[in-house]
Amino acid sequence: MLCCLLVCISSQAFAQVEDSLSTTSQKPTKVKFKPFTYFRVGTDITKWVADIAQQKYFTFEVQADATFRKNLYLATELGYANSKVQNEVLAFDANNIFLSFGVDKTILHKEQESDFDNAFIGIRYGMSLVNRSAANYVIQDPVWGNTSGTIVARNFFAHWLELNAGFRLEVKKNIFAGWNVRFRTFINPDNFKQLPPAYLAGYGRADKNTAMGYNFYILYGFGKR
Amino acid sequence: MVGKLMNVYRSLHHGIQMLCLVLICSLLACKQTATCYEPQNVALRGGFYYYDVDQKLTDTLLENAVLIFGEGNNYFQQLKQNNRFSFPLSQSKDTVSFVFQADSSSTASDQLDTLQLSYNRELTFISTACGFQHFFQLQGITYSKHVIDSVIIFTPAITNDINKQHLQIVLKD
């Protein structure tokens, strides 16, 4: 089997040498890749499901990417979330907007230049402005009596790094569906040591220094393929 | 092309399966955040001792003693064949008083000692589900000396670490 493969490869190689010898006068026509010719924009539908399934937070996320190099896309995501912590001992709201940008590299061989079905791995830098309301707390103490108080509201900046991997499929012309999984870690976790929001758009549960996430995007593509 | 498309569809199918799994996990994770798992019991812990003939501190079992504490002194902790005690400090005041009764069957004044602890409070965030607790830093203690010989502040910092002893109450022999 291996011998057959070697024979095939070598015969193809010889054929290519012969071709190049017979056409030495002709310059090879190399197609130059033009960046920013095809774009995709879409939204994460898992967030819609999450919004319906629970009452603790509302969020939406959109994504856009553009061809940049062969096998490389520039990608950006932005989104918003508001969340609520309300239990016997603590009550506060938080909202945030986020922007992340980075690159996705496709890892499967393209059969045609217009073929956009592919698996990818990517990296992102994410940043967010977080607005937390004043927090009311109660310390329950049956022995000496309950105590309550308020922690003042706070606005702060958060940023994180993210690795992702996933798959995208063109289900109809210019309509894409795809999933990915994400691993994120805060660059400034100290901001979340006290009163972390129940949900941080672009990141997930903010009470953890590292978070796993997922997306299921529906995207629309446009531009020159 | 057909082979690749099959792979693509397989991958997407696996993706949907994984997505369902992750959705279930995340819904379960959401439920877990409502339950407080972190230790919340920030209590003063202490033990009873006496000085032996060599003036070494030795722990002693109490036959039938009582500690009285709480708002209005309405909490009791019976110490029968025991030499350890613990109770919470007030989350809203910087001093608490408690009473040590050496013999639960006797309310004679020479069997009672009153102790007053003073401390600083530090508001500490535990978690979203558990909220806040005060941690304490013991500043001093005053006490009567009917049955108590002396009191030693052994560890001034009181946190939710249950392995620390903060007070050593030395009884008269």
B33 touches chain A (CB under 8 A): yes
B97 in the same domain as B18: no
> Would you state the pLDDT for residue B77?
95
- Rounded to two decimals, the pTM is 0.77
DSSP character for A152?
P
Q: What are phi and psi of B25, to 5 degrees?
A: -60, -40
Contact check, Cβ <8 Å, B4/A117: yes
B77 in the same domain as B22: no
Contact check, Cβ <8 Å, A141/B91: yes
Q: Please check whether residue B75 lies inside any domain of the structure.
A: yes
> Would you state the pLDDT for residue A86?
93
Fold for domain A30-223?
Porin (2.40.160)
Q: B24 falls in which pLDDT band (50, 70, 90)?
A: low
B70 in the same domain as B20: no
B28 in the same domain as B83: no
Tens of pLDDT, residues A75-114? 999 999 999 999 999 999 999 999 999 999 999 877 776 7
B139 in the same domain as B108: yes
CB A65 within 8 A of CB A40: yes
A196-219 average pLDDT score:
93
B75 in the same domain as B48: yes
* b/e code B22-35 from CB counts within 10 Å (16+ = b): bbeebeeebeebee
B90 in the same domain as B24: no
Q: Please check whether residue B38 lies inside any domain of the structure.
A: no
Chain A residues whose beta carbon lies within 8 Å of the beta carbon of residue B130 = 89
Q: Which domain holds residue B16?
A: 1-32
Contact check, Cβ <8 Å, B96/A144: yes
Asked whether residue B31 carries a pLDDT value surpassing 90, the answer given is no
B43 vs B67: CA distance, rounded Å: 14
CB-count burial class (<10 Å; 0-12, 13-18, 19+) for A157: exposed
CB B142 within 8 A of CB B101: no
B93 in the same domain as B14: no
Q: Please check whether residue B67 lies inside any domain of the structure.
A: yes
B131 in the same domain as B92: yes
Q: A34 falls in which pLDDT band (50, 70, 90)?
A: confident
Flag whether the ipTM exceeds 0.90.
Answer: no
- What is the tally of structural domains in chain B? 2
DSSP character for A108?
S
Q: B121 falls in which pLDDT band (50, 70, 90)?
A: very high
B19 in the same domain as B102: no
A131 vs A27: CA distance, rounded Å: 60
Q: Would you kindly state where each structural domain of chain A is located, as residue ranges?
A: 30-223
> From chain A, which residues contact B within 8 Å (Cβ)?
46, 49-50, 53-54, 56, 85, 87, 89-90, 111, 117, 119, 137-139, 141, 143-147, 149, 166-167, 169, 177-179, 181, 193-196, 198, 205, 207, 214, 216
Nearest to B29 by CA among A154, A93, A185, A213: A213
Average pLDDT of the residues of chain B: 86
Asked whether residue A28 carries a pLDDT value surpassing 80, the answer given is no
Nearest to A89 by CA among B123, B138, B69: B123
B162 in the same domain as B132: yes
Asked whether residue B144 carries a pLDDT value surpassing 90, the answer given is yes
